[in-house]
């Protein structure tokens, strides 16, 4: 291991949680890095107004995550939770879902913590419909949420991964959800499930489900980490617990799922999975799977097309940092940041590590573009969780959003320059290089929070992506994008017929006068959260749209010609454009 990697290991107090380290050289290096991060954050932006407006209160979003934080420092307390944009009633308006925790041996409230579902009223406001829709309860301690139409009935269902038990809710299409965990066979009992992703890995037209697993942990086996002094006990690093295999559930097409993890070859390595994204990284019409693992190597599984996957992490170059170190992989997303038609991978990590950008070189190989893209040490003092690519300003280049928050609620007693609650970060993509424009996001968006889940969705149907954030043991937030729709854009919703109805795995190319833009409908992404499945393309620097090409998972390739900008299209497999209402919220 080189000197830089060794220093990074010493700086990670959480990793060596039983013996805190105080070194004058560490303090000196930390001060240098603080200066670097501060100068990056103060870079000017040409945006005339704040990017994101906090509309939480006026929208009627009232949700406070309950972690059950206690003096015992149960690891599960600090890891949740997620959120989702979902149009559960099919009215063309995105609703909001937030995942709550659960009881622990030291937290048994009279009223068990409940999830929350807020229905869009169409006027920018939401109403709490949790009770009448039946989605409040979890079988385990809730962690994440995955949104997908597993029975192809046109209504999105919810899967809630959790600690010691997960929950499957089937949407009955009448404004209510039914707990079908037992009959569907998706309970994942005994595991600490975190993020999940829907995907049709065998292209049979039905969505399958892959679930990331963190560590083998039990309340009874909780151990003491940190200095044995008042105020110094800390949450233990995952190195103290064995890793766990992910779980793959195959959709049988009759409402039931069969667990096929071993048959599919996903049991090659005990990871410590926190983030997962399902996407076609080599454009072979088969969806692959990437797992972000905490403190051990990541996992990239290539879909072989015969019902099984191959672990190609080592040959792909996505397992470790550029200097060969396994980092604290938490959030993950995949998108085409350099507009070359291939999906790249971005991961968030713990403080004193670099958030990593892996550039897709083709043939399932990736290069570490963290430094060449100018991301570098811009977030060296932050711990990133939820993350998504988005073209927030609709200029045709995918930007990056990161939600931050440390895992140790008392981290400042060990490192004065690191805080528990942290600001979010926004990076603007300028032709493949990223500029930190966080200061342009607005004072409300920059308020320090213990950020975890992040979901994106155009809840007001105005052509730019808005932001939902779930904070650990704090109130949830909703931010409206106020700059993107000043430029031209195109939204695309796909409806599969022979393919799965959500069209997960479909590839879309938007051909303009100024070049081509690419995207896919992906499963999973971010951290514990689910985003709007519609695809959004910024057009301001690319001109008129001459053709939209869709490559469906089932094999059909079809085109729509001469598309008008500033609208949301619906393309149905085999039928082309269809009329579907997406009311604009005033």
pLDDT tens digits along 498-546:
999 999 999 999 999 999 999 999 999 999 999 999 999 999 988 899 9
Closest alpha carbon to 201 in 543, 460, 500: 500
Which phi and psi (to 5°) does residue 323 adopt? -95, 15
Which residues, including other chains, have CB under 8 Å from residue 501's CB and lie 6 or more apart?
Answer: 149, 152, 154, 495
Q: Give the pLDDT of residue 74.
A: 98
- As a whole number of angstroms, the distance between CA 419 and CA 424 comes to 13
Exposed e or buried b per residue across 549-566, where buried means at least 16 C-beta atoms within 10 angstroms of its C-beta:
ebbbbbeeeeebeebebe
Ramachandran bin of 498, using left for φ above 0, alpha for ψ from -120 to 50, beta for the remaining angles: alpha
Q: How confident is the model at residue 6 (pLDDT cuts 50, 70, 90)?
A: very low
Alpha-carbon distance of 377 to 398, in angstroms, equals: 20
pTM of the model: 0.93
Average pLDDT of the chain, as a whole number: 92
DSSP 8-state assignment for residue 221 = G
Q: In whole angstroms, give the CA distance from residue 414 to residue 13.
A: 8
Q: What is the Cα–Cα distance from 171 to 154, expressed in whole angstroms?
A: 9
Hey, is 30 helix, strand or coil? helix
Which pLDDT score is estimated for 541?
81
Say how far apart CA 38 and CA 129 lie, in whole Å. 43
Give CA–CA dist 489/483, Å, rounded: 12
Q: Which residues pair with 210 in a beta bridge?
A: 197, 248
Q: Please report the pLDDT score of residue 373 as a whole number.
A: 97
| β-bridge pairing 126-128 and 146-148 | unpaired
Residue 423 has pLDDT above 90, yes or no: yes
Nearest to 212 by CA among 286, 145, 281: 145
What's the confidence (pLDDT) of residue 38? 32
> Is the Cβ–Cβ distance between 423 and 447 less than 8 Å?
yes
Tokens 């990076």, residue?
427
> Which tens digit of pLDDT belongs to each residue from 465-491?
999 999 999 999 999 999 999 999 999
**For residue 363, what are its two tokens?**
């043939």
Q: How far apart are CA 494 and CA 512, in angstroms?
A: 20
Question: Which of 45-59, 185-199, 511-525 shows the lowest per-residue confidence on average (mean pLDDT)?
Answer: 45-59
- If residue 347 lies in a helix (H) or strand (E), which one and from where to where? strand 344-347
Shortest CA distance to 11 belongs to which of 382, 419, 415?
A: 415
Confidence class for position 96, pLDDT limits 50, 70, 90: very high
Using CA of residue 567, residue 117, residue 470, residue 347, what is the dihedral sign?
negative
Q: What is the DSSP letter of 267?
A: -
- Residues with Cβ < 8 Å from 181, sequence gap 6 or more? 139, 166, 167, 168, 187
DSSP reduced 3-state for 414: coil
Residue 541 CB-half CA count within 13 A: 12
Residue 132 has pLDDT above 50, yes or no: yes
Torsion from C-alpha of 198, 201, 206, 212, nearest 10 degrees = -30
Closest CA to 4 of 325, 367, 418: 325
Q: Which two tokens stand for residue 195?
A: 């993020």
Q: Is residue 66 helix, strand or coil?
A: coil
């Amino acid at each position: 291991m080189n000197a830089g990697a060794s220093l990074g290991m010493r700086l990670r107090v959480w990793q060596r949680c039983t013996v805190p380290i105080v070194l004058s050289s560490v303090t000196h290096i930390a001060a240098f890095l603080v200066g670097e991060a501060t100068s990056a954050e103060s870079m000017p932006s040409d945006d005339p107004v704040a990017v994101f407006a906090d509309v939480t209160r006026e929208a009627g979003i009232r949700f406070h995550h309950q972690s059950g934080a206690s003096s015992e420092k149960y690891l599960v307390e600090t890891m949740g939770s997620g959120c989702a944009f979902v149009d559960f009633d099919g009215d063309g308006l995105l609703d909001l879902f937030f995942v709550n925790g659960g009881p622990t041996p030291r937290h048994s409230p009279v009223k068990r913590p409940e999830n929350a579902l807020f229905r869009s009223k169409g006027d920018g406001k939401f109403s709490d419909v949790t009770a009448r829709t039946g989605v409040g309860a979890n079988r385990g301690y809730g962690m994440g949420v995955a949104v997908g139409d597993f029975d192809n009935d046109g209504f999105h269902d919810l899967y809630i991964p959790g600690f010691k038990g997960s929950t499957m809710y089937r949407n009955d299409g009448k404004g209510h959800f039914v707990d079908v965990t037992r009959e569907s066979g998706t309970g994942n009992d005994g595991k600490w499930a975190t993020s999940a992703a829907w995907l049709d890995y065998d292209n049979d037209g039905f969505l399958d489900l892959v679930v990331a697993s963190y560590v083998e942990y039990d309340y009874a086996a909780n151990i003491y980490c940190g200095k044995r002094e008042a105020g110094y006990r800390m949450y233990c690093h995952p190195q103290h617990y064995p890793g766990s295999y992910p779980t793959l559930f195959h959709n049988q097409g009759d409402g039931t799922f069969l667990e096929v993890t071993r048959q599919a070859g996903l049991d090659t390595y005990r990871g410590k999975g926190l983030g997962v994204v399902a996407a076609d990284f080599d454009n072979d019409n088969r969806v692959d799977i990437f797992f972000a693992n905490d403190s051990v190597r990541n996992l990239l599984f290539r879909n072989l097309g015969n019902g099984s996957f191959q672990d190609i992490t080592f040959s792909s170059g996505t397992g470790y940092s550029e200097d060969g170190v396994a980092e604290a992989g938490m959030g993950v997303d995949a998108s085409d940041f350099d507009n070359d038609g291939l999906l790249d991978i971005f991961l968030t990590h713990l403080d004193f590590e670099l958030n990593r950008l892996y550039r897709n070189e083709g043939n399932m190989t990736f290069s570490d573009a963290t430094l060449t893209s100018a991301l570098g040490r811009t977030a060296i003092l932050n711990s990133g969780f939820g993350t998504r690519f988005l073209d927030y300003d609709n200029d045709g280049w995918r930007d990056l959003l990161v939600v931050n928050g440390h895992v140790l609620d008392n981290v400042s007693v060990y490192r004065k320059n690191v805080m528990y609650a942290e600001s979010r970060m926004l990076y603007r993509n300028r032709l493949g290089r990223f500029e930190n424009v966080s200061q342009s996001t607005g004072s409300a968006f920059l308020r320090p929070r213990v950020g975890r889940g992040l979901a994106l969705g155009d809840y007001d149907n105005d052509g730019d992506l808005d932001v939902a954030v779930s904070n650990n043991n704090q109130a949830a937030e909703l931010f409206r994008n106020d700059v993107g729709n000043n430029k031209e854009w195109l939204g695309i919703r796909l409806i599969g017929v022979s393919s799965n109805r959500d069209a997960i795995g479909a590839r879309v190319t938007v051909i303009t006068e100024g070049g081509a833009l690419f995207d896919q409908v992906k499963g999973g992404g971010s951290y514990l959260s689910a985003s709007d499945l519609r695809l959004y393309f910024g057009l301001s620097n690319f001109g008129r749209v001459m053709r939209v090409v869709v490559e469906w998972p089932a094999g059909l390739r079809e085109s729509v010609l001469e598309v008008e900008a500033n609208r949301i299209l619906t393309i149905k497999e085999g039928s082309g454009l269809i009329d579907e209402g997406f009311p604009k919220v005033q």
